[in-house]
Amino acid sequence: MTWRVKENAVLEMKNIHKSFPGVRALQGVDFTLCKGEIHALMGENGAGKSTLIKVLTGVYEKNEGEIFLEGLDKPAVIKSPQDAQNLGISTVYQEITLCPNLTVAENMYIGRGRAKLTNWKKMNADADKILTNLGIPAKANQQLSDCSIAIQQMVAIARAVDMDCKVLILDEPTSSLDESEVEKLFGLMRDLRARGVGIIFVTHFLDQVYEVCDKITVLRDGQLVGEYVIEDLPRVKLVAKMLGKELDDMEEIKDDTQVYKGDEGYVFEAEQLQSDAGIKPFDFHIKKGEVNGFTGLLGSGRSECVRAIFCADKVVGGSVKMKGRPVKLTKPLDAMKNGIAYLPEDRKVDGIVGDLSVRDNLILAAQVLRGFFKPFSKAEANKFADEYIKLLEIKTASADTPIKSLSGGNQQKVILGRWLLTHPEYLILDEPTRGIDIGTKIEIQKLVLKLASEGMSVTFISSETDEMLRTCSRLVVMRDRKVVGELSGEDLTQGKVMETIAGGEAS
């Protein structure tokens, strides 16, 4: 029997399943894209967005389900990116995949046969025609490296359009663009929509979704939450669906915990702090014995804020005080010498040194502060290792065990022990409980509250809002790389957090 996509649809994905060893990444997901539509694909980290896109573009082979495209009388067979391209499916990724050492025209036509490239005059003329037609401010013979990131994104889109794409996938295309560049890109997207191209827009920026999109599909934990017309889904409801919290289940009562009883003066203050990671300038402070946090959806800028505080990213503006005294912090070592410690978001990349032992990983930060020309003796290193293995209940055969052999939770405890060994006044924890079992999560939360009760200042970041509410007494709310609110006291509830993330819309 001949099958057709439903009226006005250019793409239908039906009952898509994809599994990896031990992980069901997609479970029966449906997705429909219409002609002349900009359709946002939304969900938190691990929701399945990237997997669905990779199935559609032939990077992954689906385990089950069917993909239908306009003009085909049977399900599409997509086993490679080339198959997808031949069917009119093009992708523009966050990281530019063009060749900066070639011209704009060469980038538009490379890999598409020799005839065009051997006729340079025609290639440049055709490229200029397409660029003019799409309103892209670039010249065919201009070297791509001379173009801004926004223009390079547009050139990648022009290449896709010239290849007669019916489905254009834009994967985080605005993450490296400033506001004016975003507007130029949106203008091009609207123009393509008017020409009948179906656009899948993957982004973490809520404001951009509501500015340019017609529909939203939400995924969570590899499953379809729903498809919505933009006008029917207020921002706060979108946030609720992404996080898996219904609006009648927002209140969270924080347990009474021991609090710090001493002087509560400011340990750290920042004014108009800004880094080269694209966050807007922000003010921030933390008192002695306080646990506060940055919250917001993935990509909101919460991690970039604490990286700026620790100088893990290059600081390009603002001023900092430690205990009321102006200090100049330009690199992580400066922060460490001023009593700041930072447990990074990605322990595999920025935290552990896999081939080193538990002992060597534990003493690493303290050794940096002491200086590598003054190494700890073996007796000192063993003493520190034994102390923190016992204190944090790290499950390891011995201090000599390579840290890569430990479970994720125990690796996290080692990194935490590394920073506690430096006796910091201000401890920053970015996703300290991600990917670890519930028992270890609770242990770390209790430890954070205990450290605070003893006078340590702690900034705690977690993608799980419940965890933040249990741990923090004040939350700084981020959206689209800027601070949009601060919550404490009676306002420290799930509902208020989500309303602030969404932009204050409660209905």
Domain boundaries, the chain: 34-66+76-243, 255-339+427-432+461-507
pLDDT in tens for each of the 507 residues of the chain? 455 567 789 999 999 999 987 778 899 999 999 999 999 999 876 788 989 999 999 999 999 999 999 888 889 999 999 999 899 998 887 666 788 889 999 888 876 654 455 678 888 898 898 888 888 888 999 998 888 877 888 888 888 877 778 999 998 888 767 777 788 889 989 999 999 999 999 987 788 899 999 999 999 989 999 999 999 998 888 888 887 765 444 334 344 456 777 777 899 999 999 999 989 999 999 999 999 999 988 788 999 999 999 999 999 999 999 999 999 999 999 999 999 999 888 766 777 888 889 999 999 989 998 888 888 899 999 999 999 888 888 888 889 898 888 877 788 888 888 988 999 999 999 988 776 655 667 778 888 888 899 899 999 998 778 788 888 999 999 998 899 999 999 998 888 998 998 885 433
C-beta separation of 201 from 213 below 8 A = yes
pLDDT value at residue 150? 79
For residues 25 and 16, give the distance between their C-alpha atoms in angstroms, rounded to a whole number: 10
The candidate with the shortest Cα–Cα distance to 178, out of 159, 158, 151, 202, is: 151
3 state DSSP class of 100: coil
The CATH number assigned to the domain with range 255-339+427-432+461-507 reads 3.40.50.300
- The sheet with strand 340-343 has its strands ordered as 340-343, 426-430, 457-461, 291-295, 474-479, 482-488
**Cα 282 to Cα 486: distance, rounded to the nearest angstrom:** 12
pTM over 0.85: no
Q: How many helices (H) and strands (E) does the chain have?
A: 17, 19
89-92 sheet: strands from edge to edge? 89-92, 167-171, 198-202, 38-42, 215-220, 223-229
Identical fold, 34-66+76-243 and 255-339+427-432+461-507: yes
Q: What is the DSSP string of 424-450?
A: -SEEEEESTTTTS-HHHHHHHHHHHHH
Helices (H), 213-347: 235-243, 302-310, 332-337
Specify the pLDDT at position 355. Answer: 83
Query: Residue written as tokens 């604490």?
Result: 306
Task: Please name which of 402, 405, 458, 408 lies closest in space to residue 433, comparing C-alpha atoms.
Answer: 408
- pLDDT of 413: 86
pLDDT for 163: 74
Beta strand pairing call for 315-322 and 457-461:
unpaired
**CATH code matching the domain that covers 34-66+76-243, chosen among 3.40.50.300, 3.30.1280.10, 3.40.50.620, 3.30.200.20:** 3.40.50.300
Strands 482-488 and 474-479: antiparallel
Q: How many CB atoms are closer than 10 A to CB 258? A: 10
Q: Answer yes or no: are the C-beta atoms of 39 and 201 closer than 8 Å.
A: yes
Instruction: Output the CA torsion 127→132→137→141 (10° steps).
Output: 30
